[in-house]
Amino acid sequence: MKIGIASDHGGYQLKTKLVNYLKKKGHEVVDVGTFSTESVDYPDFAFELSTKVVEKEVEYGVAICSSGIGISIACNKVKGIRCAKADSVRDAKYSRLDNDANILALSGRMPRYKALDILDAFLSTEHKEVERHDRRIKKITDYEEEHYR
């Protein structure tokens, strides 16, 4: 699987651990930065990652900032992105099952072992095509088409 990953300075250390983990698991990783702990603006990296997901250069994305919240908000500004901030394996599974999320957002402050479990759950869970969930996703997509971006 080809996975895109991005972080700001607050997520840099966790990002480097996740990149290594993903590569060891045989995934191709496209790291769009940042590449240090020097202060940067997370929207720049969120938009680059989101564009790669929308243009299908990568299958899924992982976005990390200190809280996971800011970068998820920025990712969700890009038409076609459904970025879910997950704090648990359950969050990650349902973001895929019900919402067909295409980017996972994580807190850079999260312990590595917890982030790995959440990442594995996100990547191994397929969207379950259920009429009520697909109807809701379509409403989001249709609204996006009619009103924004």
pTM (two decimals) = 0.92
Residue pair 84/104 in contact by the 8 Å Cβ criterion: yes
Say how many Å lie between the first and final Cα of the chain, rounded: 29
Structure letter (DSSP) for residue 27:
-
Using one digit for the tens of pLDDT, what is the confidence trace for 30-80? 999 999 999 999 999 999 999 999 999 999 999 999 999 999 999 999 999
Residue pair 69/110 in contact by the 8 Å Cβ criterion: no
H/E stretch holding 126 reads none
Please name each of the domains of the chain with its CATH number.
2-147 (3.40.1400.10)
**Which one is predicted more confidently, 55 or 149?**
55
Using one digit for the tens of pLDDT, what is the confidence trace for 86-121? 999 999 999 999 999 999 999 999 999 999 999 999
